[in-house]
A and B are shown apart, each in its own frame.
Chain A
Amino acid sequence: MSSAPVAIDVRGVTVGYGDRVVQQNLDFQVRRGEVFVILGGSGSGKSSVLKVMIGLYEPVAGVIRIDGENLVEAEGENRQRLLRKFGVMYQSGALFGSLTVLENVRLPLDEFTELTREEKDLVAMAKLNQVDLLPAAGRMPSELSGGMQKRAAIARALALDPGILFLDEPSAGLDPITSAGLDATIRTLSRGLGITFVVVTHELQSIYSIADRCIMLDARRKTIIAEGAPADLRDHSEDPYVRQFFLRQAEPAAVSGGEGATR
């Protein structure tokens, strides 16, 4: 995996709002085809980091390169082209409530392709098929369960076949079974289509089942405190906070118990 080319290169990025710095001096690379997870406790700014990576917010400092091109400085047509290299699934799904599921998935195809109406329908159906949601194609988003809404949002993010998919808290608000189903979908898409995933989550089960590599952000130190495969971090990290996180221990730093003691 480490030999794959870099898909996203984050260099010296500082994220903040006004005077408040959320994370500073972040350096990490996401390689093509891997499932890369951004971890962190509540309030560590992982969603803000994601929003900077997808160009919604500007970083206070630093550079974000997607396939070698700087997203921060890209403008106009160039920026549009860069934005189309990735899809995003927002935490709430963010489906358009006035459109059916199929129309939601077809919308980017309507706007950016020269396919015929029938072809666009077929591609949208294929996308829904990939996330096992084809039977719900004609329904309205409000008629779907939380897990189905997230699948539909993934299908929409996939509509233009981007090489990279950003997922914000895919398992938030889902029961363990639905959440595991979503993880399976992510693995299938990653293995089968070679899509690069950047996932923000704090769900331990999810992390073990999908992540190739992860970084952990800390709210107090405002930077990356660990990087590597999740099992490695759990078993070998020297950092007390990282061990606490993986062992699901409450507070404070007195972490001396054996592995998995409280899990």
Chain B
Amino acid sequence: MTPTAVRAELREGDRGPVLAISGRLDVETAAAARREIHAKLAGAPAKALEVDASGVDHGDMSGMVLLYELEEGRLAPGVRARITELKPEFRTLLSAFPSREAIEALEPHRARRTLPVEVGAHSLSLLRDLREQVTFVGAVAQGFGAALRSPRAMRWPEVALAVEKAGVNAVPIVSLISLLAGLIIAFEASQPLAMFGAQAYIADIIGIVMIREFGPIFTAIILAGRSGSAFAAELGTMKVNEELNALTTMGLNPMRFLVMQRVLAGMLLMPVLTAFSMLTGVVGGILVMLAMGFPFAEIWSHLAGAVRVSDVLVGTSKSIVFGAIVAGLGCLRGMQTKEGPSAVGDSATRAVVAGILMIIVVDAIFAVVTNALQV
């Protein structure tokens, strides 16, 4: 069959105007056919219309939709055309279009929820989430208790693997970001301090800021982005594949099997990563000061005078808590994964967002407590 272009002719029949459509009426020609039909019907009186489709020799559903629209009065407003002489194979296609009633009976896309319902549902889910988090913290604490009693039950090779992936592999990025942060802080501080001739105190600022605050926070945020999300995605995929169910029905506790070693790994690797961050951050500050012409001995004496042992201890203990939070939230969000193609991605997002939020909140708590204790 050699497909020809579509043609439409308007002629006067016995019982009113007849629109004769012929040629090829398919996905390729539908747009041209619509233009042609519109043009031919433009000047015609809006009365009864007959469509002579005997000349249609090739067609598909995308072409037949035009005949359906003519039949339903959608193309020529107010005129419901009568389709005649359509070949049976195309009649089959045309008959597949749903009736007007069937279209109207379709379920609405999605029932809109009213504001109070939305607020209520959201509050409930927040409360439920809080409850799950408390339960989770309890389960992790219980897991640590069990691990202390029988350390051999802990899956140490997996702890090592998690430390390598989340810790060792993160050393370059943590070092680079901290170095640049140290450079930037030193640069920005040098301008206002210059007004008082106090640029030597850049060393004090950089030491305290990097060791007490930014070292742990930067490292924790990088860990949340790199590994919190990865934990959530790993456990989420396992949940979607029913691997978590398989563990449970085998009588194995997913907490002990999957969560404990990741949380432990987080707590072990964070102080080390943070030490890298503190060190490179301070190095960044020192580089700026050296470039400004300060001798190293002076920089060092400022640093040694400003940074106390308690600063290092506070920074390090923060980092352990941050490690537990980021790894734990990653695992929790992974285990909470729902069904559907976007579920794993949602869990990873939730892990990172909740992780960063909790880091800042806990850091604020640390600030208040250490201030009260004067350390």
Question: Residue among A126, A136, A160 with the most chain B CB within 10 A?
Answer: A126
The 0/1 profile, CB within 8 Å of B marked 1, for residues 106-121 of chain A is: 0001001111101100
Contact among B31, B98, B341 with A126 in the assembled complex (CB-CB below 8 Å): B98
Q: How far is the CB of A189 from chain B (nearest CB, A)?
A: 10
Q: Known contacts A160-B62, A161-B60; is A126 also within 8 Å of B97 by CB? A: yes
Please report the total number of A residues contacting B with Cβ < 8 Å.
32
Please report the total number of B residues contacting A with Cβ < 8 Å.
32
Residue of B nearest to A130 (CB): B96
Q: Known contacts A126-B61, A135-B106; is A142 also within 8 Å of B27 by CB? A: no
Contact among B60, B65, B89, B106 with A119 in the assembled complex (CB-CB below 8 Å): B65
Contact A113 B342 (CB under 8 A): no
Contact among A100, A115, A118, A129 with B97 in the assembled complex (CB-CB below 8 Å): A129
Contact A138 B342 (CB under 8 A): no
Contact A123 B61 (CB under 8 A): yes
The 0/1 profile, CB within 8 Å of A marked 1, for residues 5-28 of chain B is: 000000000000000000000110
Interface positions of B from 320 to 342, Cβ below 8 Å from A: 339-342
| B69 surroundings in chain A (CB, below 8 A) | 119, 122
Contact A139 B89 (CB under 8 A): no
Expressed in whole angstroms, the Cα–Cα distance for A135 and B93 within the complex equals: 19
A97 interface residue (CB < 8 Å to B) = yes
| A138 surroundings in chain B (CB, below 8 A) | 106-110
Contact A113 B27 (CB under 8 A): yes
Count of A-B contacts with CB under 8 A?
81
Question: Residue among B74, B93, B96, B103 with the most chain A CB within 10 A?
Answer: B96
Q: How far is the CB of A107 from chain B (nearest CB, A)?
A: 14
Expressed in whole angstroms, the Cα–Cα distance for A118 and B30 within the complex equals: 13
| B62 surroundings in chain A (CB, below 8 A) | 109, 113, 115, 119, 123, 160-161
B372 interface residue (CB < 8 Å to A) = no
Residue of A nearest to B72 (CB): A122
| B103 surroundings in chain A (CB, below 8 A) | 125
B68 interface residue (CB < 8 Å to A) = yes
Residue of B nearest to A139 (CB): B107
The 0/1 profile, CB within 8 Å of B marked 1, for residues 63-97 of chain A is: 00000000000000000000000000000000011
Contact B92 A193 (CB under 8 A): yes
Question: Residue among B60, B69, B74 with the most chain A CB within 10 A?
Answer: B60
Contact among B34, B97, B105, B340 with A142 in the assembled complex (CB-CB below 8 Å): B340
Contact B30 A125 (CB under 8 A): no
| A192 surroundings in chain B (CB, below 8 A) | 92
B195 interface residue (CB < 8 Å to A) = no
Contact B65 A126 (CB under 8 A): yes
A26 interface residue (CB < 8 Å to B) = no
Contact A97 B342 (CB under 8 A): yes
Which are the 10 A-B pairs with shortest beta-carbon distances?
A161-B60, A114-B31, A97-B341, A126-B96, A126-B97, A138-B107, A119-B65, A138-B109, A130-B96, A129-B96
Residues of B within 8 A of A (CB): 26-27, 30-31, 34, 60-62, 64-66, 68-69, 74, 89, 92-93, 96-98, 102-103, 105-110, 339-342
User: Could you list some 13 contacts between A and B, CB below 8 A?
Assistant: A115-B65, A116-B34, A118-B74, A119-B62, A123-B62, A126-B65, A126-B68, A129-B102, A134-B98, A135-B106, A137-B106, A161-B60, A194-B89
Residues of A within 8 A of B (CB): 96-98, 100, 109, 112-116, 118-119, 122-123, 125-127, 129-130, 134-139, 142, 158, 160-161, 192-194
Given A138-B107, A138-B109, 6 further pairs, Cβ under 8 A? A115-B65, A118-B74, A119-B62, A123-B61, A126-B61, A161-B26
